[in-house]
């Protein structure tokens, strides 16, 4: 006797499969979206608390040590952060559910005491750990499990940052550079849009900026944008090298993670006091204030060396063992660099800052399609061809460097052939 499923025509089976995956995607979008919203409000609360009480940055060593002890107590001291997420998607490796509360709490601690770290990278870990655990509990096939993990990544990023198109494509694009699994497009977009709508309903505003000084599409503008793309490629390589190099230096000279966290905390206090004292914490936190000043404020208050300071603050924070993401600090470095470099080549500070934001993001993540969508969602549709050109140049000239060592680069950036190597 034939099974009931065998009695159905292929079109019906395909529709049922589509419907089942759509339901899974929406459910994950709702579950992860709720957590993402809570994460957003938690980070906002402690950031406002720190800004109201600047002396909290004096607790940086305590905050760093508490994060190390928290992970050690939970048996997660060797946690690899976002790299583990990439492995989970690529190989359907199980992730521990405790990753979600740990990255939630530790990132909140980092922001409370003034560490220079973002939250979107942390959101990827948060969303992936929840959806990955659901996939393994359901016992789905590895291919479908990878799709569900991608859904969690997209939903968390979208709920937190308010860029649903970027979130969906980034979750698909960041694992394998040069390949996108189009079979996962529908669930990824459904989860991302569900998280986005839920976050909006619960009062989380999407991130967006109004730019000025948009040039007319012309041969001169193309040349200027190509130059900016090349400069941002160099910036992204510098960012990645400093991030990786600082972590190695910490580990070499301070092999005990507890000592590393305390020492890093004291170094950060010293730099913060040298920069502007307790009341002027420009480079502490994620860096959204720097993006705002560079893009919307047309460069008002942006220091020419600000991007270098932000790189150092972020590398010292994350290298010491504090938790958080690198994405918004990358935005901040790109925005402040573009705001300063743009006028030197004839672009407005605002447009230069906007170009720098997305081109630097592309350079460190090797995700050009996500970066183009990010330009659209952050800055609107005006000048999109110019944004796309700067992003393409940054992607091509940034080489094989990247923030995530587990990111697989499948196709060469120079010629259309497979190379199958990991980001450096």
Tokens of 306: 């600000």
**Which pLDDT belongs to residue 181?**
86
- In which domain, by residue range, is 95 found? 4-201
Distance CA 208, CA 155 (A): 18
115 within some domain: yes
351 within some domain: yes
Same domain assignment for residues 281 and 182:
no
- Per the CB < 8 A criterion, the answer to whether 230 and 392 are in contact is no
Tokens of 322: 């504090």
Q: What is the pLDDT of residues 18-59, one digit of tens each?
A: 888 899 999 999 999 999 999 999 999 999 999 999 999 999
The answer, yes or no, to whether residue 151 has pLDDT greater than 90, is: yes
- Could you give phi then psi for residue 365, rounded to 5 degrees? -110, -15
**Which pLDDT belongs to residue 9?**
60
Same domain assignment for residues 322 and 276:
yes
Same domain assignment for residues 295 and 364:
yes
Q: What is the pLDDT of residues 358-374, one digit of tens each?
A: 999 999 999 999 999 99
236 within some domain: yes
Same domain assignment for residues 54 and 82:
yes
Q: ∠ CA 97-99-102 to the nearest 5 degrees? A: 125
- Per the CB < 8 A criterion, the answer to whether 110 and 323 are in contact is yes
More confident residue, 315 or 82: 315
What's the average model confidence in pLDDT over 262-275? 90
Same domain assignment for residues 172 and 224:
no
Same domain assignment for residues 163 and 307:
no
- Per the CB < 8 A criterion, the answer to whether 318 and 301 are in contact is no
417 within some domain: yes
The answer, yes or no, to whether residue 269 has pLDDT greater than 90, is: yes
Same domain assignment for residues 345 and 307:
yes
Greatest Cα pair distance in the chain: 79
The number of distinct structural domains making up the chain is 2
Residue with tokens 């579950």: 31
Tokens of 281: 């914490």
Question: Residues near 207 by Cβ (< 8 Å), separated by ≥ 6?
Answer: 161, 162, 163, 378
Q: Which of 111, 150, 109 is nearest to 128 (CA)?
A: 150
The last residue of one of the domains, among 171, 201, 231, is: 201
According to DSSP, the β-strands at 408-411 and 418-422 are antiparallel
The answer, yes or no, to whether residue 1 has pLDDT greater than 60, is: no
Same domain assignment for residues 237 and 166:
no
**Which pLDDT belongs to residue 322?**
93
Q: How confident is the model at residue 2 (pLDDT cuts 50, 70, 90)?
A: very low
Residue with tokens 């198109």: 165
Q: What is the CATH number of the domain that holds 350?
A: 1.10.3080.10
- Per the CB < 8 A criterion, the answer to whether 359 and 391 are in contact is yes
Same domain assignment for residues 186 and 240:
no
Same domain assignment for residues 377 and 404:
yes
The last residue of one of the domains, among 173, 201, 229, is: 201
The answer, yes or no, to whether residue 5 has pLDDT greater than 70, is: no
Q: How confident is the model at residue 235 (pLDDT cuts 50, 70, 90)?
A: very high
207 within some domain: no
Same domain assignment for residues 186 and 245:
no
- Per the CB < 8 A criterion, the answer to whether 345 and 228 are in contact is yes
**Which pLDDT belongs to residue 100?**
84
What's the average model confidence in pLDDT over 131-143? 84
Q: What is 261-281 written as a DSSP string?
A: HHHHHHHHHHHHHHHT-TT--
Distance CA 299, CA 306 (A): 11
Same domain assignment for residues 84 and 129:
yes
The last residue of one of the domains, among 145, 175, 201, is: 201
170 within some domain: yes
212 within some domain: no
211 within some domain: no
What's the average model confidence in pLDDT over 379-390? 94
Mean pLDDT of the chain: 89
Distance CA 257, CA 323 (A): 13
- Could you give phi then psi for residue 409, rounded to 5 degrees? -95, 110
């Amino acid at each position: 006797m034939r099974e009931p499923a065998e009695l159905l025509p292929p079109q019906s089976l395909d529709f049922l499969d589509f419907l089942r995956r759509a339901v899974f995607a929406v459910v994950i979008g709702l579950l992860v979206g709720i957590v993402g919203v809570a994460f957003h409000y938690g980070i906002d609360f402690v950031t406002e608390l720190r800004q109201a009480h600047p002396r909290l940055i004096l607790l940086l060593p305590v905050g760093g040590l508490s994060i190390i002890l928290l992970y050690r107590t939970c048996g997660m001291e060797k946690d690899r952060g976002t790299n583990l997420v990439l492995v989970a998607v690529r190989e359907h490796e199980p992730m521990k559910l405790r990753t979600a509360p740990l990255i939630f709490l530790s990132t909140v601690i980092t922001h409370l005491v003034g560490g220079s770290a973002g939250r979107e990278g942390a959101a990827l870990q948060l969303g992936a750990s929840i959806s990955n655990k659901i996939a393994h509990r359901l016992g789905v096939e590895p291919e479908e499990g990878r799709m569900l993990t991608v859904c969690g990544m997209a939903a968390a990023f979208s709920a937190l940052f308010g860029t649903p198109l970027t979130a969906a494509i980034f979750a698909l694009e960041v694992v394998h550079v040069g390949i996108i699994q189009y079979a996962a497009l529908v669930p990824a977009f459904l989860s991302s849009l569900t998280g986005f709508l839920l976050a909006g309903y619960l009062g989380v505003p999407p991130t967006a900026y109004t730019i000025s000084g948009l040039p007319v599409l012309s041969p001169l503008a193309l040349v200027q944008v190509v130059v900016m793309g090349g400069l941002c490629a160099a910036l992204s390589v510098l960012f990645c090298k400093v991030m990786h190099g600082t972590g190695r230096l910490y580990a070499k000279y301070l092999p005990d993670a507890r000592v590393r966290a305390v020492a890093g905390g004291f170094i950060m206090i010293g730099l913060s006091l040298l920069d502007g004292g307790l009341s002027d914490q420009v480079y502490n936190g994620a860096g959204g204030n720097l993006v705002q000043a560079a893009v919307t404020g047309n460069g008002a208050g942006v220091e020419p060396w600000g991007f270098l300071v932000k790189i150092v603050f972020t590398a010292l924070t994350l290298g010491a063992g504090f938790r958080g993401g690198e994405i918004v600090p990358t935005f901040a470095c790109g925005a402040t660099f573009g705001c300063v470099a743009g006028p030197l080549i004839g672009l407005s500070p605002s447009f230069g800052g906007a170009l720098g934001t997305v081109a630097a993001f592309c350079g460190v993540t090797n995700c050009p399609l996500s970066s183009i969508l990010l330009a659209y969602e952050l800055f609107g549709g005006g000048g999109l061809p110019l944004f796309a050109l700067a992003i393409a140049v940054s992607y091509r000239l940034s080489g094989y460097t990247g923030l995530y060592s587990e990111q697989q680069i499948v196709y060469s950036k120079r010629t259309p052939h497979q190379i199958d190597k990991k980001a450096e």
